[in-house]
Amino acid sequence: AQSVTQLDSQVPVFEEAPVELRCNYSSSVSVYLFWYVQYPNQGLQLLLKYLSGSTLVESINGFEAEFNKSQTSFHLRKPSVHISDTAEYFCAVSTGAAGNKLTFGGGTRVLVKP
Partner 1 sequence: DTGVSQDPRHKITKRGQNVTFRCDPISEHNRLYWYRQTLGQGPEFLTYFQNEAQLEKSRLLSDRFSAERPKGSFSTLEIQRTEQGDSAMYLCASSLAQGLSSYEQYFGPGTRLTVT
- Residue in 3, 13, 54, 59 with CA at minimum distance from that of residue 35: 59
In the complex, minimum distance from the CB of residue 48 to partner 1, in angstroms, rounded to a whole number? 11
Beta-carbon contacts of residue 4 (< 8 Å; ≥ 6 apart): 23, 24, 25, 26, 91, 92, 93, 103, 104, 105
Shortest CB 106 distance to partner 1, Å: 5
Return the residue of 14, 18, 45, 80 that touches partner 1, per CB under 8 A.
45
Site for partner 1 in 51-110 (CB under 8 A): 51, 90, 92, 94, 98-107
Q: How far is the CB of 49 from partner 1 (least distance, A)?
A: 7
Residues 23-42 interacting with partner 1 (rule: CB under 8 A): 32, 34, 36, 42
| In the complex, least distance from residue 91 CB atom to partner 1, rounded to whole angstroms | 8
Catalog residues that contact partner 1 under the rule CB under 8 A: 4, 6, 9, 32, 34, 36, 42-46, 49, 51, 90, 92, 94, 98-107
